[in-house]
Amino acid sequence: MRRIAIIGAGSIVFCKTLILDIMATKDLEETEFVLMAPSTSKTSQVQAFAEKVIAHNGLKSKVTVTTDRREALKGASYVITSFQVGGVSAFEIDYKIPLQYGVDQCIGDTLGPGGVFRALRSIPVILDVARDMEELCPTATLLNYVNPMAMICWALGETKINYVGLCHGVQTTLDLISGYVGIPKQEIDYVSAGINHMGWFTKLSHKGQDLYPLLREKFEQPEFYVNEKVRGEVFRHFGYFMTESTGHLSEYVPWFRKNQQALDLYCDEPSFGGETGAYYTWCNYVADKYRERDILADESADLPPRSVEYCAYIIEALETGRTFKFSGNLRNNGMIANLPAECCAEGPVFADRNGLHRTIVGEIPPQCAALNLTNINVQRLAVLAAKSGDPETVVQAIALDPLTSSVLTLKQIRDMVTEMLAAQQQWLPQFEGRLPRPTPTVPIPANIKRAEVPIDPALAVFSRFGELAT
């Protein structure tokens, strides 16, 4: 019986979806699920529901619960990670402190102050999981759902374990494209490549016919453009369609959330998901609503069709050899030629009995790679900060964030990071109370006389030019 350890199984709805997907896969019926979370308050609900499904459908699966991560990982064939360090309490700080400084986030889990701090909390934990796997289940495959995906998988790429990062942005965006062009998504041939939450559909075709002319035509029609104004604008100016929604994409670039005028024009429409704090508000609502309630108690025990999540299909491919193609997140290593080898890239991956195989995409369009690199710069420093515990590196990572740098000065960024680090100490043991060094504002009197600075005679001509210009 294969053993699947789910680390972070207290994410009730998502955990339920993955378990049902695996149970609904004929060749995976004989599976032992080990549900691990710091407490059993939620995992016991998932266990009771899963056992009801097993009994109702006559399956040979088994479900156990533990609070011991090492016990869960011992002998595992597969490991699924879906934890959120600090939960909604930490997320509230990620969102509210930056907002006080003027950094308006919608989602806050991928880039920007929220994404960086989520990485600082999560990377030490995922690296602990990886070290335990190297000891307790060295041949297991880790399927990661923890965000920020690119930063988490960048850190995993520096370990020895087999892993892949999974997201559903490509599948859901294909639904949108399918609706715009009026073609079933199963009939659309595509290549998507880039980084997580900023992948690019470099090819879109139907029976050999390029779909981009039709998609561009649709986006110039108001009734279509209004659905995805942020993605529509980036599509117009960069030439390719991207894998994430208005709410997500608006945070990764400097143009849509930097002031109220931009927000009003592109994002501040609740029905389209770009409004301020949308994801935090939703998470807080769900946490409050189900805090004392077993939301699985009345769920049907019938096995539904498999969801769009890749997890069950990948495990099926690894177990049976039936090839499955998907968009996965791995250490780049040449998959996308014009992105750094060491970054986490998202592109076409094939799974079969021999393992996971990246596809060599080659170069993506240079303007798309350039936009990816603005995010990769932040990711690189955030991973370094999470591993080193250096608060200065946190400041530098967030200073390079496209949205934050469009709103704040360097001094304001340093003050914001200092406040966030102080507020999140309980989840950031690697910093051990260390904060960024203070940089006081130097008062400049109105009648200040500039200090005399010796000038190299060879450069005196440039000084003279300055006087002439003045």
pLDDT, tens digit, 9 for 90 and up, residues 166-204: 998 999 999 999 999 999 999 999 999 999 999 999 999
Provide CB contacts within 8 A for 353, sequence distance 6+. Answer: 317, 318, 319, 320, 321
For residue 218, the model assigns a pLDDT of: 95
In the CATH scheme, what is the code of domain 2-167+294-319?
Answer: 3.40.50.720
For 227-251, write each residue's pLDDT tens digit. 889 999 999 999 999 998 888 999 9
Given this model, what pLDDT does residue 162 score? 97
Beta carbons within 8 Å of 438's beta carbon, 6+ residues apart: 418
pTM of the model: 0.93
Position 469 scores a pLDDT of 56
Cα→Cα distances 38→8, 87, 185, Å: 8, 12, 40
Q: What distance in Å separates the CA atoms of residue 69 and residue 36, rounded to the nearest whole number?
A: 6
Q: What is the mean pLDDT of residues 359-384?
A: 98
252 carries an active-site annotation: yes
- In sequence order, what are the beta bridge partners of 81? 7, 144
Share of the chain above pLDDT 90, in %: 79
| 290 in active site | no
Closest residue by Cα to residue 155 from 421, 384, 400 = 384
Residue bearing the bigger pLDDT, 419 or 41: 419
Kindly name the residue from 95, 252, 266, 279 that is annotated as catalytic. 252
Judge whether residue 451 has pLDDT over 90.
no
Cα–Cα distance, 453 to 335 (Å, whole number): 51
Between CA 139 and CA 137 the distance in angstroms is 6
Tokens of 227: 């659905």
| Reported confidence tier of residue 271, pLDDT bands at 50, 70, 90 | low
Domain residue extents for the chain: 2-167+294-319
DSSP lists the bridge partners of residue 352 as 355
Q: How far apart are CA 110 and CA 118, in angstroms?
A: 8
What pLDDT is recorded for position 446? 81
The model's confidence at residue 336, banded by pLDDT at 50, 70 and 90, is: very high
Q: At which residue do the structure tokens 């490509």 appear? A: 170
Cα dist. 109→72, 114, 197 in Å? 27, 6, 11
**Catalytic residue of the set 168, 206, 290, 357:** 168
Residue 423: its pLDDT value, please? 97
**Would you state the pLDDT for residue 467?**
59
Q: What does the pLDDT look like over 120-145, one tens digit per residue?
A: 999 999 999 999 999 999 999 999 99
